[in-house]
A = this chain, B = another copy of it.
Amino acid sequence: MTTESSFINLLRGFATDPAARGLLDDVAVIDIGDASLIITHDMMAEGVHFRSNANPADVAWKLLATNLSDLAAKGAAPVGVLLGFMLGDDAWDRSFAAGLKEALAHYNVALLGGDTVANRGDKRALGLTALGRAKHIPVPSRSGAQIGDIVYVTGTLGDALAGFELIDAGFDEVGPLADAFNRPVARLADGQKLAPIVSAMMDVSDGLLLDAERLARASQIGIEIDLARVPLSPLYISYRTDSLESRMQAASWGDDYQLLFTASPEASLSVPATAIGRVISGGGLTLKDGVNPVKLPPTLGYQHQ
């Protein structure tokens, strides 16, 4: 079984166009005439990204939101999307279409085209390509963090983890924690406001610690995160208490789709965000809890296989 990283390494050998950004970013950035176009493609597979019994309308919502979240991290405004859809059960497909319609209307994004295929297998795979137009040049990347910068994250972390666990345990799916997992929010407006002041930015899709480590690697600097500052929601705290362990879990689980960014200490933030650490020399990630050093957990986040 090939792993994602070994396959991407194979591709990296010939994805040498500068627009590919060495396949180190979530998106490609293409200069077309006088505009910078952002393009991203994310897939969702049954049994990996969604349960076989998930609400198809939620699957549609999440497929759109996760792709738009990649645009948000570039400060881009969506232009439209193309859908790659595997046909199946009629009721499922109708519910998916209805959910997609609702999500597109929510984000005011156009469906431009795509493809549908029959499914001869026992599981579905869905894909979405999202196109956006950069609102600020240069387009933020993962690789611009500078020593001395502050590390920030928008919103709170862990709600999607709590929602996932509640759904897994058979609880009602309509609560706000379940919603955080099923219907994540792409922070498009925040991304556009932040793009002019950040030195690096990405969305938190696979876990704060893992994504921060990727940002550190891409920027060739070190990142120190103070777990005591990781922002938690009152709901998450009431679900799981406020402890170092629960903060560590919130920081090493994905699906939050908040924006992780670095900015100079002089920058005046244009959206609410929490300072959770700083950019230091060296490489990779270091953790602390207030003044106490904390060992890295064995798993920093969701590693795709």
Interface contact B7-A113, CB-CB below 8 Å? no
A93-128 contact mask (Cβ, 8 Å, vs B): 1 or 0: 110010011001100001111111111111111010
With A35-B32, A46-B121, A93-B2 already in contact, the answer to whether A113 and B25 are too (CB < 8 A) is yes
With an 8 Å Cβ cutoff, the count of chain A residues facing the other chain is: 78
Return the chain B residue nearest A102 by Cβ. B14
Docked pose: A1 CA to B124 CA in angstroms: 13
With A32-B32, A32-B35, A80-B17 already in contact, the answer to whether A42 and B115 are too (CB < 8 A) is yes
Shortest A294–chain B CB gap in Å is 30
Interface contact B11-A90, CB-CB below 8 Å? no
Copy number of this protein in the oligomer?
Answer: 2
Quick check: is A28 within 8 A (CB to CB) of the other chain? yes
Interface contact B19-A110, CB-CB below 8 Å? yes
Docked pose: A104 CA to B7 CA in angstroms: 17
Interface contact B30-A79, CB-CB below 8 Å? yes
Quick check: is A15 within 8 A (CB to CB) of the other chain? yes
Shortest A162–chain B CB gap in Å is 24
Quick check: is A272 within 8 A (CB to CB) of the other chain? no
Interface residues in chain A, defined as those with a beta carbon under 8 Å from any beta carbon in chain B: 1-4, 7-8, 10-11, 13-17, 19-21, 23, 25-28, 30, 32-35, 37, 39-49, 79-80, 82-90, 93-94, 97, 100-101, 104-105, 110-125, 127, 129, 131, 133, 304-305
Between A and B, 11 residue pairs with Cβ closer than 8 Å are A1-B87, A2-B89, A14-B101, A15-B111, A19-B110, A26-B113, A27-B113, A43-B115, A43-B116, A84-B127, A121-B125
